[in-house]
Structure 1
Amino acid sequence: MPTFRYRAYLADGTDESGLLEAATKQDAARDLSKRGRRSYYLAPTKTDQSAARPSSFALFSQKVKPERLFSDLSVLLNAGFTIDRALAAVIASESNRARQGQLQSVQDLIVSGRSVAEAFASLPAMSPTTVALLSSGERSGRIALVCQKLAESYQASARRKAAIIEALTYPAFLLIVMVGALFVLAAVLVPALEPIFEGSTSDKPLVMSMLSSLRNTFIDYPAVFPLIVLICLLAFLGMSQSARVRDLASEALSKTPLLGPLIKRTAVARYLQTLSLLLANGVTMLDALKLAGDTVAQAGLRPHFADIKENVANGSKLHDAIASQPLFEKATVSLISIGEEANALPAVLERAADMLQMRVTSQIEALLKLLTPIMTISLGFVVGSLVVSVMTTILSINDLALK
């Protein structure tokens, strides 16, 4: 029978560790719970772990997908399943062993007495805001609704990413074709034209000189281009792991003419949506304002939301605190003011968030529709410039022949 190593709290708060034999990890968690132990660590011993260790090829697919997880859970919970039974059904439908193991750990924690929020916090894909929403839903008995809202949020984000990737596919293909055309011109056309200019007093055209330099660099230092690509890739991966670099990039994007307003409206919509859900689940206003402010990914925008919390803590009404910040539009402030007076703040905040989100979605779709023709015209202009330069070179050859 497999052996599990555990660490747990006793009823008097003391800590206990040891080994436990059980058929499965879930059985071990139940056994500890019956014995009055609240486990905070439960794992197979090394001998048992080696057989279940995932291969290195599966490292890129180990994270649980939140949009699918919460979508399945919301359906099952609304159908009357308890959270542990719903998780068991999700685990049974999961084909990836690594993700299956992570979800099994969550179920084991819930069975052993942990709260839903604490159990889900062990997943690497869970943000602090998601954990806070689950905690508020558990306290208010609205965990199914919270899972549904989380699923909708994650699915909307996934759809936006897919739309952006799809819109960028054709321009990326054109860019690759253009780079290939440059290498063909440098490797085939330039060597055929260069001998004509040897011994001549006429200078080579600028574009031809640039293509010639590109060809010579590629011949003399063939490893230079792959090295540049590798360095750029490593630099991108390194910067993407740095929170400081991400904050700087996000702040720079928020100041751009087209993307800036979209980023700000998206942050405001997410803030209002989270605030609505937290207040509806019984979280106090100050705690909800703090948690909603933490959902904002842009470091440059966080002080505005922190000021709202500070003003409310000092006695201001929510709509007055929001009106003092430049991020919020007058229509949004007016709607929140009406909701506050009518004591229907959660519903009004959700409506305001939906209105902002619909506006952001329509603007993103319009930009994506314009992106492909803009990129096509821009790349066509570059290619056309190259063709004109080559034709100028050919005409200059005729001038040399006449001389």
Structure 2
Amino acid sequence: MMGLFAYQIIDRTGNTVTGRMDAEHEFAVAARLRRQGYTVVDVTPVKESAIRQFFTFRRNVNIGELSLFSRQLAAMLDAGIPLTRCLNTLSKQVTNPTLARAVAETARNVEAGMGFSDALRGYPDIFPALYTDMVRAGEVGGSLEEILRRLSEQLERDKQLRDSIRSATFYPMVVLCFAGLVVMGMMFFIVPIFVKFFPAGAVLPLPTRVLMSVSDSLRHFWYLWFAVLAAVFFSARFYVHSPAGRRSWDRLKLKLPVMGPLFQRTVIARFARTFSTLLSGGIPVLQALAAAG
């Protein structure tokens, strides 16, 4: 589970820098800062009251919001506005509170002497490795504005690709949901009516008896069905989010009869586009392969 930690470090010039970072635990924060070349002085968790944590809603940052942020930042930098001023301005303009907080914290870290890409690495759930690697290449090569524009275009293409997939799968999902509603309606309303037509003691085929038993249990013990389905859903969700479950789920998606080829072409297209963007941004081949993977 991600948490917020306050840290104090000494940068390469000997200055003391303070800031905040999202991570799993304080050891991850310290390790990340040491990899960036800083001397870690202190890392402490930022404690919030239980009431505030209960009422705090953490909103995810989607691709469209990150693309817009990158485009706006590139335009402001191209106009000659200093980076810290750009970040402070954008932190007040973005509508997503999670992104606004991350940008504000990044601005404070940059003002304290931390590199822009190093400050972004403190929020891996918002800025992925692809993003920070590209920003790092732009900082080194002096082409940060161009890199941010390329990132914005890349994110926009990814968004269009995801929207196309959603559009392609929308109709089958609607049909499946409608079919499920029809089956439930038959179980709750139609099957009980037909049961009355059968004489008492009549020997019925096995499929008919199974159908009648399922209908009867759904009408009288619906809460048990609900509990079982909820348990199956959350168990499957927990398994899919584990490394082994994720691999199994991805293999299954690629082997689906109709949607499998679509998923495969989507993955190949995203990899090729991401790899091309990294190479054009000056990232070495091996590092680009790792980031694209």
Give the TM-score range, shorter chain: 0.7 to 0.9
Structure whose CA Rg is larger: 1
User: What does residue 289 of structure 2 align with?
Assistant: 293
1:140 aligns with 2:141: yes
Note the 1:236-385 alignment, pairs <5 A: 236-254=236-254, 258-259=261-262, 260-278=264-282, 283=283, 288-297=284-293
Q: Distance in 2 between matches of 1:125 and 1:289?
A: 24
Q: Distance in 1 between matches of 2:168 and 2:17?
A: 56
Q: Distance in 2 between matches of 1:184 and 1:249?
A: 31
Q: Distance in 1 between matches of 2:234 and 2:105?
A: 34
1:335-391 Cα distance to aligned partner (Å, 9 max, x none): xxxxxxxxxxxxxxxxxxxxxxxxxxxxxxxxxxxxxxxxxxxxxxxxxxxxxxxxx
SS at match of 2:57: helix
The answer to whether the 8 A contact 1:6-1:42 is kept is yes
Q: Distance in 2 between matches of 1:205 and 1:45?
A: 62
Structure 1 residues 112 and 157: CA distance shift in structure 2, 3 A:
same
User: What does residue 161 of structure 1 align with?
Assistant: 162
How many residue pairs get aligned? The number is 262
CA RMSD of aligned residues (A): 3.7
The answer to whether the 8 A contact 1:10-1:38 is kept is yes
1:115-152 Cα distance to aligned partner (Å, 9 max, x none): 11101111231222221111110011111111111111
Structure 1 residues 189 and 12: CA distance shift in structure 2, 3 A:
closer
CA drift of 1:184 comes to 2.3
Tell me the amino acid that sits aligned with residue 294 of structure 1: A
CA drift of 1:226 comes to 1.4
Unaligned runs of 5+ in 2: 1-5, 19-37
SS at match of 2:204: coil
User: What does residue 57 of structure 2 align with?
Assistant: 58
The answer to whether the 8 A contact 1:182-1:211 is kept is no
Unaligned runs of 5+ in 1: 18-36, 298-403
CA drift of 1:13 comes to 6.1
1:126 aligns with 2:157: no
CA drift of 1:167 comes to 4.1
Tell me the amino acid that sits aligned with residue 270 of structure 1: T
CA drift of 1:173 comes to 3.2
Q: Distance in 2 between matches of 1:7 and 1:137?
A: 27
CA drift of 1:275 comes to 2.0
SS at match of 2:244: helix
Q: Distance in 2 between matches of 1:101 and 1:150?
A: 21
The answer to whether the 8 A contact 2:8-2:42 is kept is yes
SS at match of 1:122: coil
SS at match of 1:247: helix
SS at match of 2:122: coil
The answer to whether the 8 A contact 2:117-2:133 is kept is yes
CA drift of 1:205 comes to 8.4
Q: Distance in 2 between matches of 1:276 and 1:13?
A: 35
Q: Distance in 2 between matches of 1:258 and 1:10?
A: 49
The answer to whether the 8 A contact 1:74-1:148 is kept is yes
The answer to whether the 8 A contact 1:70-1:148 is kept is yes
SS at match of 2:81: coil
Q: Distance in 1 between matches of 2:261 and 2:171?
A: 21
User: What does residue 230 of structure 1 align with?
Assistant: 230
